[in-house]
Amino acid sequence: MRIYDLIFKKREGQPLNQEEIAFFVNSFTKGEIPDYQASAFLMAAFIRGLNGKETSLLTQAMCESGTKLNLSGIPGIKVDKHSTGGVGDGISLVVAPLVAACGVLVPMISGRGLAHTGGTLDKLESIPGFRTNLTQAEFLSQMERIGVAMIGQTSEIAPADKKIYALRDVTATVDSIPLIAASILSKKLAEGCDALVLDVKTGCGAFMREKKDAVRLAQVMADICKRSRKKVVVLVTRMEEPLGNAIGNGLEVWQAIEILRGEEKRGTESFIELTDVLGGWMLFFGGKVRNSKEGRAKISEVRKSGAGLKKFEEIVRSQGGDPEVIQDPKKFFFRAPIVKEVTSPWKGSVSFINARSVGVAALLLGAGRENQDSVLDPSAGILLAKKLGDRVERGEPIAQFFYSPGARFDEAEKVFLAGVKVGKLRPKPHPLIHQVIR
């Protein structure tokens, strides 16, 4: 078998079989296929597309390129949750301990921030001492002891994905729906879970800006899970405005702790709604409730009781973090040397806050990555003082910016304000969840 023949076949729009896809994945991972030929193959797949069977085979081959975690020795149903990325989307920080507090096992492998979107690992690592690079033995031990672990992709898990993604990133082939689905699910299938709850974002703050593209990605991922005999539900959710009030790694951990305490502040309604819905599905798949609606009510009850906060403290302690963050989160996450208010030049009702603009502004303050070598400032970020529908007076604070000397405040302020619209009338509410795909 030659890579040249596979490139030619895909260029002509012909489907590839299992042996051919496995050959590409395994040979490229071992370094036996040069980057220029792998790039040609990926571009052919990008332009010609991959059908459902090809996408499933690619996902499986990438999953099997490394170690697959074996959780069969731990009794119970294992359920994970994944989001395609948004602005202020710290849902995993809240939903994982809540679901685990209800007795469902949650083996969570998360990622880092990409472009203007935040990453769960970066948020967790803003907690002093917190380790996301657990060994496989440590991961399994923690799952047995407390029923939940939140780690990053190791070099042993789906190494093909890491290598293929790096090449996609520099060859303009990231935006392929089959390749996106295979990248996400190859890691998820390798972690040994029984069921998945997936959140596909759509809107200006998401990678899938168009709803039709988000729905298609959701359908492709649901199909892969079905072929892999995994229970799955995919929610297509709105990402036009930021979720919650906090954008930035440490600030989002602070907000998560507040919500796990049972607090429901103005501006966190969408965050809490999505937490309850996703958590409800996880409880349903975990066999703890009869349906997702009952699960949603249970998650809400546990969130208000503070039981999720106790579980989050267990996670922090187990993974080397400082447990004092639970008692006094402001002490740890409000440590930026400079805090400035951004005031509104308009008077009226906030009719739109562009999630992408807010995400880029936070990035310019040091909360995100402009390139792979960027060093994050865990204290940098934005706290929104106004959300959609709020009244605002001219000169009134609309946000607080947290940053360190050297950050690009002026640029961040311009980008932020360019994404805010204030009008005479209050905007009509939009549904948070567009579609649910089983």
The residues, ordered by sequence, that sit 6+ positions from 108 with a Cβ below 8 Å of its Cβ are: 80, 81, 92, 96, 120, 148, 149, 150, 151, 191
Q: What pTM did the predictor assign?
A: 0.93
Q: Give the residue extent of every domain in the chain.
A: 3-49, 79-329, 333-423
pLDDT of residue 374: 76
pLDDT of residue 258: 96
CA angle 182, 183, 187 (to 5 degrees): 100
175-224 pLDDT per residue, tens: 899 999 999 999 889 888 999 999 999 999 998 899 999 999 999 999 99
Cα(56)–Cα(227) distance, integer angstroms: 7
53-90 pLDDT per residue, tens: 999 999 999 999 998 888 989 999 999 999 988 899 99
Tell me which H or E stretch contains 294.
Answer: helix 292-305
Q: What stretches in the chain show pLDDT beneath 50?
A: none
- Provide the CATH topology of domain 79-329: Pyrimidine Nucleoside Phosphorylase; Chain A, domain 2 (3.40.1030)
Q: Which amino acid is at 288?
A: K
Q: Which CATH class is domain 333-423?
A: alpha beta
Q: What single string gives the DSSP state of each residue in 210-275?
A: SHHHHHHHHHHHHHHHHHTT-EEEEEEEE-SS-SSSEESHHHHHHHHHHHHTT---TT-HHHHHHH
pLDDT of residue 392: 96
Cα(147)–Cα(298) distance, integer angstroms: 18
Q: Does residue 135 contact residue 151 with C-beta atoms inside 8 Å?
A: no
Mean pLDDT of the chain: 94
129-153 pLDDT per residue, tens: 999 999 989 999 999 999 999 998 7
Positions annotated as catalytic residues are 82, 161, 168, 183, 187
Cα(65)–Cα(157) distance, integer angstroms: 8
- Provide the CATH topology of domain 3-49: 1.20.970
Q: What single string gives the DSSP state of each residue in 88-146?
A: S--HHHHHHHHHHHTT-BEEEEE---BTTB--HHHHHTTSTT------HHHHHHHHHHH
**Token pair for 368:** 């995100």
